[in-house]
């Protein structure tokens, strides 16, 4: 692995999002186009300037189209170009900009449109039923598992090992849904209290309704280019300086769920590339993956931003608030903005891009920011992708 000095410099110069909603009229192609068009407009480019397209989308069983990358290519501007889709479960959203990074850094591409889309609403009886098929088909699926079982098992183990209470964990949901009030794309922004969380519908104890992010339709896109293109089109490029991803083995039943070791490996890969030794000191703003409130804390520890079991301590000290030392999920995160799986990870990357560019509007954090991090998570308690950016 070469350190940062040897890599061609790669920058983000545009980003776009659609609304995140429980149900959208647009087809997946139209959603991909809406987000891609906005990203091109912000970058000041036209489609004919783009030479490669990278697409990210999670299970085909949601949108209801097999080989979904081929179907989405049209809406992502991929026609008559190199266009491919990457897929690492929920971690896909951050894998997309990482893939776009190596498309440019390898020299094969110069101006890449990176698009992530998910439409969960077509599946009946309920999108959650599609998650029955993510398990081992022979050993686990016959138990008719619901997706939330695995999160609840991880959350309960995390609470047990680190002696953390549901009241402390609920603070994350309160923080993120409040941050989302400043986000025009948000689906589940709300002013709630810890009490509201503890009174909400019990889904799979210890997970209750307000501990979770909603099912959503939505798309996100970024324009990622080489250094000389970036300098020609903007005087505030945001550089991709660290990328890292790791998949643990499939045997989630055979390991300590309280600590995401695979995320630690992914983070160290990205930190090594970006030249970061003390993440909790050198990173100004973070967007850790938060499909569930406890997961933000679980990931903050895996990212080495907090010691094991101590994320809640810093949370209660306000370190992760919008005006804290290390603002976490200033966008409102999946809990507040929504969770269209692949697009969710890219939305969080875009949030960091806008923070570093200084154009996050009402979501802009107080402190000056120079280094930001976005992280996504996925598969069977097993995958993490990390991207580090600087302005």
Partner 1 sequence: MQKVGIVGVGWYGFRPNTREVSFREMMFEASTRAYADAGNINPRTDVDTFISCQEDFWEGIAIADEFAPDPLGGAMRPTMTVTGDGLQGILHGVMHILSGLSNVTVVESHAKPSDILTMKEIIDFAYDPIFGRIGAKNVHYLAGLDAVKYMKMRNARREDFAKVVVKNKRNGLKNPRASFASNLTENDVMNRDYVIYPLSDLDIAKFVDGAVVIVLASEEVARKFTDTPIWIEGIYSATDSTLELSSLGEAKYLKIASEKAYEMAKVNKKEIKAAFVDDTYSYKELQHVEALGLSDNAVADLREGEFEEGGKVAVNPLGGLLAEGRPLEVSGLSLLLDAIDYLKEGKAEKAVVASWRGVPTFTGAVAVVSR
Partner 2 sequence: MSWDKVGREDSLLTWKDVMQAEEYVYTVGVAGEEFFNGLKQKKIIGSKCPKCGKVYVPARLYCEDCFVKNDFVEVNEKPYIDSFTVIYKDEEGNKLEKPQTVALIRFGNTKGGILAYVSEGEVDIGRGVEILEYKIPLIVRVK
Partner 3 sequence: MSETPSGTPLKEEDLKKVNTVVYKPKAEYAYSAGQAQSKFLLGLKEKKIIGRKCNKCGRVYVPPRMYCDDCFRPTDEWVEVKDEGIVETVVASFISWTRERMEKPEIVGVIRLFPSSDRDWVFPGLFHRICADFEDVKNMSLFGKKVKAVWRENRVGSIDDIECFEVVK
Residue 232 binding target from partner 3, partner 2, partner 1, none, CB below 5 to 8 Å by type: none
Residues 318-347 that bind partner 3 (CB under 8 A): none
Does 251 contact partner 3 by CB under 8 A? yes
Tell me the window of 131-139, 175-183, 221-229, 284-292 that interacts with partner 1 (CB under 8 A): 131-139
Tell me the window of 2-10, 166-174, 275-283, 319-327 that interacts with partner 1 (CB under 8 A): 2-10
Of residues 22, 37, 49, 70, which one binds partner 1 by CB under 8 A? 70
287 backbone φψ class: left, alpha, beta (φ>0; ψ -120 to 50): beta
User: Which CA distances in Å does 136 have to 4, 46, 150?
Assistant: 39, 44, 13
By the 10 Å C-beta count (0-12 exposed, 13-18 middle, 19+ buried), 47 is classed as middle
Contact mark string toward partner 3, 160..179, x via CB under 8 A = x-------------------
Instruction: Please check whether residue 58 is in contact with residue 218, taking contact to mean a CB–CB distance below 8 angstroms.
Output: no
Residue 84 binding target from partner 1, partner 3, partner 2, none, CB below 5 to 8 Å by type: partner 1
Which residues does residue 238 pair with via DSSP β-bridges, in sequence order? Answer: 12
User: Which structure tokens are listed for 74?
Assistant: 């049209």
Residue 46 binding target from partner 2, partner 3, partner 1, none, CB below 5 to 8 Å by type: partner 2
Instruction: Please check whether residue 69 is in contact with residue 84, taking contact to mean a CB–CB distance below 8 angstroms.
Output: yes
Does 134 contact partner 1 by CB under 8 A? yes
Does 243 contact partner 1 by CB under 8 A? yes
The backbone torsions φ and ψ at residue 113, rounded to the nearest 5 degrees and listed phi first, read: -100, 115
Helix (H) or strand (E) holding 116: strand 111-119
Closest CA to 384 of 347, 345, 344: 345
Residue 254 binding target from partner 2, partner 1, partner 3, none, CB below 5 to 8 Å by type: partner 3
Instruction: Please check whether residue 285 is in contact with residue 365, taking contact to mean a CB–CB distance below 8 angstroms.
Output: yes
Does 61 contact partner 1 by CB under 8 A? yes
Does 80 contact partner 1 by CB under 8 A? yes
**What distance in Å separates the CA atoms of residue 146 and residue 273, rounded to the nearest whole number?**
38
Least distance to partner 3 from the beta carbon of 321, Å? 21
Of residues 269, 280, 309, 310, which one binds partner 1 by CB under 8 A? 269
Instruction: Please check whether residue 84 is in contact with residue 91, taking contact to mean a CB–CB distance below 8 angstroms.
Output: no
Of residues 5, 48, 80, 125, which one binds partner 3 by CB under 8 A? 125
Which of 151, 262 has the CB closer to partner 1? 262
Does 145 contact partner 1 by CB under 8 A? no
Residue 239 binding target from partner 2, partner 1, partner 3, none, CB below 5 to 8 Å by type: none
Residues that bind partner 2 (CB under 8 A): 24-27, 29-30, 33, 36-37, 40, 46-48, 61, 64, 74-75, 77, 79, 122-125, 129-130, 133, 137-138, 141-142
Least distance to partner 3 from the beta carbon of 190, Å? 17
Instruction: Please check whether residue 10 is in contact with residue 105, taking contact to mean a CB–CB distance below 8 angstroms.
Output: yes
User: Which structure tokens are listed for 252?
Assistant: 């989630």
Closest CA to 328 of 351, 361, 360: 351
**What distance in Å separates the CA atoms of residue 99 and residue 103, rounded to the nearest whole number?**
6
Least distance to partner 1 from the beta carbon of 30, Å? 11
Which of 267, 347 has the CB closer to partner 3? 347
The residues, ordered by sequence, that sit 6+ positions from 368 with a Cβ below 8 Å of its Cβ are 284
Q: Are strands 371-378 and 207-208 parallel, antiparallel or unpaired?
A: unpaired
Helix (H) or strand (E) holding 243: strand 238-247
Q: What is the binding site for partner 1 (CB under 8 A)? A: 1-2, 6-8, 27, 58-61, 64-71, 73-74, 78-89, 95, 99, 101-103, 105-108, 130-131, 133-134, 137, 243-251, 261-262, 265-266, 269, 378-380, 382-383
């Amino acid at each position: 692995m070469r350190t940062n000095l040897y890599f061609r410099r790669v920058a983000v110069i545009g980003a776009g999002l659609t609304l995140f909603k429980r149900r959208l009229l647009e087809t997946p192609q139209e959603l991909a186009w809406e987000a891609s068009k906005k990203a091109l407009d912000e970058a000041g480019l036209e489609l004919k300037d783009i030479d490669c397209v990278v697409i990210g989308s999670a299970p085909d069983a949601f949108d209801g189209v097999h080989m979904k990358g081929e179907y989405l290519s049209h809406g992502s501007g991929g026609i008559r170009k190199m266009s491919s889709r990457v897929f690492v479960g929920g971690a896909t959203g951050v894998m997309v900009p990482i893939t776009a990074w190596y498309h440019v850094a390898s020299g094969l591409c110069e101006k890449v449109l990176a698009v992530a889309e998910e439409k969960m609403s077509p599946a009946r009886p309920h999108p959650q039923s599609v998650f029955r098929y993510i398990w081992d088909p022979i050993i686990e699926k016959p138990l008719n598992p619901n997706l939330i079982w695995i999160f609840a098992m991880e959350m309960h183990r995390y609470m047990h090992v680190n002696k953390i209470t549901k009241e402390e964990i609920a603070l994350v949901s309160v923080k993120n849904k409040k941050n989302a009030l400043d986000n025009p794309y948000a689906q589940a922004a709300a002013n709630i209290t810890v009490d509201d969380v503890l009174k909400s519908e019990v889904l799979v104890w210890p997970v209750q309704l307000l501990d979770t992010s909603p099912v959503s339709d939505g798309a996100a896109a970024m324009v990622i280019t080489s250094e000389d293109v970036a300098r020609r089109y903007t005087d505030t490029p945001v550089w991709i300086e660290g990328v890292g991803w790791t998949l643990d083995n499939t045997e989630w039943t055979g390991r300590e769920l309280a600590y995401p070791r695979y995320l630690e490996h992914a983070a160290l890969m990205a930190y090594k590339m970006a030249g970061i030794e003390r993440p909790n000191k050198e990173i100004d703003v973070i967007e850790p993956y938060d499909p569930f409130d406890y997961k933000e804390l679980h990931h903050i520890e895996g990212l080495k931003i907090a010691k094991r079991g101590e994320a809640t301590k810093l949370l209660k000290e306000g370190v992760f608030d919008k005006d804290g030392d290390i603002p976490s999920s200033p966008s409102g995160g999946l809990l507040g903005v929504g969770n269209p799986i692949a697009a969710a990870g890219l939305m969080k990357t875009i949030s960091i891009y806008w923070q570093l560019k200084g154009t996050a509007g009402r979501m802009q954090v107080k402190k000056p920011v120079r280094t930001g991090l976005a992280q996504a998570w996925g598969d069977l308690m097993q995958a993490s992708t990390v991207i580090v950016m600087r302005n």
